Amino acid sequence: MTALGSAARPEPQSFERVLSSMCTEPHPAAREAATHFLATNPGDPDTYPAVAALEREVVSMLGDVVDHQDPTGYVATGGTEANIQAVRAARNLAATDDPNVVGPESLHFSFQKAADVLDVDLRLAPVDEDYRADVDAIADRIDDDTVLVVGIAGTTEYGRVDPIPALSDVARDADARFHVDAAWGGFALPFTDEQWNFAHADIDTMTIDPHKLGQAAIPAGGFIATDERTLDALAVDTPYLESTGQATLTGTRSGAGVASAHAALSAQWPDGYRENYETGMNLATWFAEEMRVRGYDVVSPHHPIVAVDIPTGDFEALTEAGWRLARTSAGELRVVMMPHVTRDSLAGFLADVDDLASSGEER
Ligand SMILES: *Cc1c(COP(=O)(O)O)cnc(C)c1O
């Protein structure tokens, strides 16, 4: 029998042993909405006005999450697109022909893509001993050709929040734009006392991903800007569409992301997300302590991400046992307490860690 004729329906992997991903199972309402709007194209809002109206609502709802009264922006394919667009807007609005972008070395790799595609120089500054951007080191790398300074609100590896207000000041002093990457952290930080959003600092653009902690279906990223000037700097004319201009990086894009972000935000903001944050933070604190008492070095979680220094052999054995794990660039095991990660699944993981230790003793 050929593959085409095969009766078996392909199945996606289960989330049960996925510990390092920043994606998760969509909220049930988000899954339903994604299917319902699958065949719409918000890339052509005049032809698909229903999804276009939903998208405007999503931007306004994201404004509530990031504390901006009157945000503009759109639902991107993810944090990567939103970060590229932040760099692109800054480059297009600046006068220099030799632009550079300055940020901490903890920046997500999407900025490497942005620098490559847009032909801007990416200048990375070392972080401090707690993995946060060092403001003086950032300031040292800024010059007259700096078009954008980037701070991270929830780093991908350690969940750290850079000193956003101070970075914003440094950017302003240099007449550069300021972007905050809250792709992962955006749906966690509203429930903390971190200084990270539009009410805390002078911010031009922000990335916040509904398809991570926002529990929307992929692809749903958020690109948020303070003024229309940013979108104007990104827009191109669009002949052969009913709509006359387009500021997104993609052309045709699925309305599934837009509709699912709308459904997830409607269902979960703010109480559902707060509950996720509190559950995730409790798990992170507990899991960090469980690994510590087993003798491992743990990077203390500020938010629901735990990094643990474990030997390569252990990492490989746990991967072999079916755990889906990733490492930080320094080599630590990284566990992200997404909504699908439970105390039961982590207890199963710890049991496997204990088996490693006892089989090690027998050897
Ligand atoms: C995940 C992440 C990104 C990239 O987002 P995608 O949705 O995977 O494109 C960018 N920045 C940070 C801080 C992230 O955690």
Q: How far is the CA of 319 from the centre of ligand 1 (A)?
A: 23
Q: What is the identity of the amino acid at 107? A: L
User: How many Å apart are CA 282 and CA 44, to the nearest integer?
Assistant: 43
> Digits of tens for pLDDT over the chain (363 positions)?
556 666 789 999 999 999 999 999 999 999 999 999 999 999 999 999 999 999 999 999 999 999 999 999 999 999 999 999 999 999 999 999 999 999 999 999 999 999 999 999 999 999 999 999 999 999 999 999 999 999 999 999 999 999 999 999 999 999 999 999 999 999 999 999 999 999 999 999 999 999 999 999 999 999 999 999 999 999 998 888 888 889 999 999 999 999 999 999 999 999 999 999 999 999 999 999 999 999 999 999 999 999 999 999 999 999 999 999 999 999 999 999 999 999 999 999 999 999 998 887 654
| Domain annotation for the chain: domains and CATH numbers | 9-18+271-358 (3.90.1150.10), 28-268 (3.40.640.10)
Residue 85 Cβ inside 6 Å of ligand 1? The answer reads: no
Residue 209 Cβ inside 6 Å of ligand 1? The answer reads: yes
User: How many Å apart are CA 75 and CA 239, to the nearest integer?
Assistant: 22
Q: How far is the CA of 53 from the centre of ligand 1 (A)?
A: 26
Q: Residue 284 in contact with residue 337, Cβ under 8 Å?
A: yes
Q: Residue 153 in contact with residue 163, Cβ under 8 Å?
A: no
Rg, the chain, Cα only: 21
Question: In the prediction, which pLDDT does 282 show?
Answer: 98
Q: Residue 346 in contact with residue 333, Cβ under 8 Å?
A: no
Q: How far is the CA of 239 from the centre of ligand 1 (A)?
A: 32
Comparing C-alpha atoms, which of 268, 258, 252 is closest to residue 218?
Answer: 258
DSSP-based three-state secondary structure for 179: strand
Closest ligand 1 atom, CA of 184? 15
Angle at alpha carbon of residue 254, lines to 248 and 255, rounded to 5°: 95
Q: How far is the CA of 307 from the centre of ligand 1 (A)?
A: 18
Question: In the prediction, which pLDDT does 4 show?
Answer: 63
pTM above threshold 0.75: yes
Residue 185 Cβ inside 6 Å of ligand 1? The answer reads: no
Question: In the prediction, which pLDDT does 358 show?
Answer: 86
Burial of 181 (0-12, 13-18, 19+ CB in 10 A): buried
Structure tokens at 290: 């469980």
Q: How far is the CA of 2 from the centre of ligand 1 (A)?
A: 38
| Rounded (10°) CA dihedral 179, 157, 82, 220 | -140
Closest ligand 1 atom, CA of 152? 13
Closest ligand 1 atom, CA of 221? 7
DSSP-based three-state secondary structure for 349: helix
Structure tokens at 204: 């031009």
Q: How far is the CA of 314 from the centre of ligand 1 (A)?
A: 27
